[in-house]
Amino acid sequence: MGGLSGIADTLNQLLEQGGVTLAPWAIPAVIALAFLAMLPWLQQNHRLQRARSLVQAIASEREVDREALRAAALALVADHPMGLVGLADEALRQGLNDLARAALVQLKTHGKPVRDIHRLHAVIHGPPPAHLEGELAAIEKLLRNSMRSAARERLQRALRTWPDAPELSALAAAQAEE
């Protein structure tokens, strides 16, 4: 016994012992139909593997056109939420946070794997701020160190968490004047 005919013969013998007799072409036809039913999943898996290899190429080579490879990797999995999750995970493993963010943005438009969206958001953006006073101190420290863009981002994030905090509003107004 070997190959597809061996599998078909074995299945046919098992069915005959159970009292079911099939035509000789039935089992290969069922196997072929099962393969055809799995074909979209296999194609998506292949596209995800190609996208992962593009991410590895972006991370390892310095002389490549990163934007073109980044766009190609996103295009390979753009229509499949789990493919975007796999791409974002691989990008995070390779240290390509911008690609992971882009995959997360596309994933949010699908909205399907909510648990993965929350997990990736927490990994990429970090946990939300816990205490208003700690955030104020961190923002002021960034401003003292002349890290204005980082302070602005952290201030916007704090304002999303505490929109009614007068201290943050005053700090935001002071930032807008500068």
Q: Is 69 exposed, middle or buried (0-12, 13-18, 19+ CB in 10 A)?
A: middle
Q: State pLDDT tens for residues 104-141.
A: 999 989 888 889 998 998 888 777 778 888 888 888 88
- Whether the per-residue pLDDT at 2 is higher than 90: the answer is no
Percent with pLDDT over 90 in the chain:
25
Q: State pLDDT tens for residues 73-98.
A: 999 998 889 999 999 999 999 888 88
- Whether the per-residue pLDDT at 1 is higher than 60: the answer is no
User: Which pTM was predicted?
Assistant: 0.64
